Structure formats: C-alpha cells, structure tokens
Amino acid sequence: MKNTLRMLLIGLLSIGMAACEKEKENTNGNVQSTGALVLNEGSFGVNNASISALDITSGDIDNQWFQNANNRGLGNNAQDMVLYQSKVYVTVTESNTLEAIDPATGISTQKSMGTLKPRSIAAQDGKLYISCYTPACVVRVDAASLATEDTCLLGEFHPEGIAIAQGKAFVVSAYNDSYAYDNHLYVIDLNSFSVSSTIEVGLNPNKVEKINDNKLIVTWTGNYSDVPSGCAIIDANSLTASTVNHGLTKGSVYNGKVYGYDAPYGSTTSWLVIDAEGNVSDFPFAVSVDNNPYGININPANGDIYIMDADYSAGGNVYCYKPDGTLRFKAAAAMNPSKLILL
C-alpha cells in the first residue's frame, strides 16, 4: 500500500511539473516517451501512410515510429485508428489490411482483409466492428485473435463511419460504384448481426460518432453542388434524427458536446460546438492553422485540443491548444495527419 501511494504521488508530482514547463514549438526527434499516436493517412495510391509518436509534454514527434518498429511502412491510405483494451487497431483501406499494434513497442501484427477495403472501426465486448467497401458490409473481428467471425451485408452503397450504442451498430453509407449518393444510417442489431432498420439522414453521409449512451451525431457531405453538407442528432432508442442547423466536417466529443469544424467544399472553415440536443455555439477560441484542417481530438483528462492540418502535398501539422486557446506546441507530422489517440 505504501509503495502504491508513493508511485501515485510521484505521478501527480510529474504531471504538476510538466504543466509548469515553458511551452515551445516542437523539434523532430526520437521520441522516448510518447503519450499519443498520430495517424497519417498518406496520399492516395502512394503507399506512404504512417503513424507518428507524439510526446504531449514537449511536442517532440517521431514520424518514423511505426516504420522503425516494424521495418516496413504502414501501407496505402490509412483510414481509422482506435485504442481498445491493450492494442491500437488501424485500418489501411487500399492495402486491405488491419494492424494490431502494441503501443508500448510499436510492433504490429498485420491481418489481411482480402479485398474488403476496410474503413472505420468501432469496438465493444472484445470485438471489432469494421465497415468495408467491397462488398458493402460490416465485419465482426475478434480483437484478440483477429479472426473474422461474421459479416453483415448492407447493399450497394459503400459504408463509412460506424459507432456503437444501445446494443446496436450505427453505420453511414455514402455512395455506390456509379457515384450515386445514399442518404441512410443503417442500424445493425449486434445479437442477430443483421440490419434491423434504417434512418433517413442527409445526402452522402460519411461519419457517425457517439455523444453519450443515448445520442449520436451523423454528418453528411451533400453533392458538392446544390445539396449542402449538414449533420443531425440521432436518438439511439427511438431511432429518430433531428437535423442540426449547421454543417460539421469533423468533430471530437468532450463532456457531452461535439467540438469541431465545418469546412464545406470550396468554402471557409468555421469552428463550432454542438451539444447532444443539437444546439450550436461558438468554439471556445479562435483557431489558427497553416493549412486545411484535417482532424480534431480532445484530451478527456485536461481538455487540451489537438488539431491536425494538411496541404495534401507535404507533411501536415499537429497543434496542441489549451482549453483557453493558448498554443502549447506545434508539431510537424507526416502526410495528411487525420487522427490522434492518447495513450
């Protein structure tokens, strides 16, 4: 008991000392203590996806973290990354692979997904639920063995984002091979592992995220022309959608609210906050990034906001803002950083 208390006190003291350090811009280097991993999507067809290790105290970043640990690259078009139990799972769409990574060492076990083109991941009860393009489906994978256990076919439209709430998987379906757009959120009963119902949403939906046990938010892109982007709050019990009076490109849930940005095709970015009832308010501070915003994640422990940007031709950046808008650091990531997870 004394040793446990001593370690706890040392940990708290370390956190306090780190909080008092002078904030600085990062320098690239070999990161010994990370705190976070950054998924760099890479350029489509170029086979340059990667994972960076980020020290969230100093801002130091190691963009060769995955490659050095595995003596290989991540692949072509990394799509999603989740931390579940003791592993980090990554889907790499065009390489048709699923990676199960030990975050302590970076060493990964790679699973072939055949020709499925895996996209987004959700996890629950020891299982991974992965949306896939070909065929349009969701597969259930055992998180420990990586064995594929079951498949739920969805139809002709390619599925994108997936989230789990109230014993159901909610999956958005965007477009088909002829680039006709869908406008439905598919509800999969996890017991029967079949589609139990659908919910009509906006045109070309691409993301769905759980806000709390009963509410989710779904976003759509529109048709890049006369049908605008938008989003809606989904009630996981009544299976109804309430349209929000604003678009949302990407967001991150923190304290029951979605913090994010709306960057419609060819339009100026706006930053906003949406609560579980669909009320929209201003972002807590003015955000400044060098390039196009490409991702956002929030530290649930202290409210620090991590924003990623990309210019689609060179490496992007990771910005760490305090909740009051003070910039802690700016780190130079690899190609198209899209998601950050805290370890």
Domains with residue ranges and CATH for the chain: 70-313 (2.130.10.10)
Query: Which 8-state DSSP code applies to residue 300?
Result: T
Q: 130: helix, coil or strand?
A: strand
| Closest CA relative to residue 302, chosen from 287, 321, 317, 315 | 321
Q: Could you tell me which of 102, 114, 93 has the C-alpha nearest to residue 41?
A: 93
d(CA 184, CA 199): 5
The pLDDT of residue 1: 36
State how far Cα 263 lies from the chain centre. Answer: 17
What pLDDT is stored for residue 267 in this prediction? 74
Amino acid at 45: G
In the block, tokens 């994978």 appear at 141
Q: What is the pLDDT of residue 66?
A: 98
pLDDT of residue 24: 39
pTM of the model: 0.90
Put the strands of the sheet holding 148-155 in their side by side order. 118-124, 127-132, 136-142, 148-155
Ranges of the chain whose pLDDT falls below 70 = 1-33, 266
Give the CA distances from residue 339 to residues 27, 39, 227, 279, in Å, rounded to whole numbers and listed in that order: 20, 5, 27, 25
**15, containing H or E segment:** helix 2-20
Q: What 3-state class would DSSP assign to 13?
A: helix
Backbone angles phi, psi at 5, to 5 degrees: -65, -40
Number of Cβ atoms within 10 Å of the Cβ of 100: 21
Burial of 172 (0-12, 13-18, 19+ CB in 10 A): buried
Distances (CA, A) of 152 to 77, 145, 176, 183, 210: 24, 20, 17, 19, 21
Q: Are 12 and 312 in contact (CB under 8 A)?
A: no
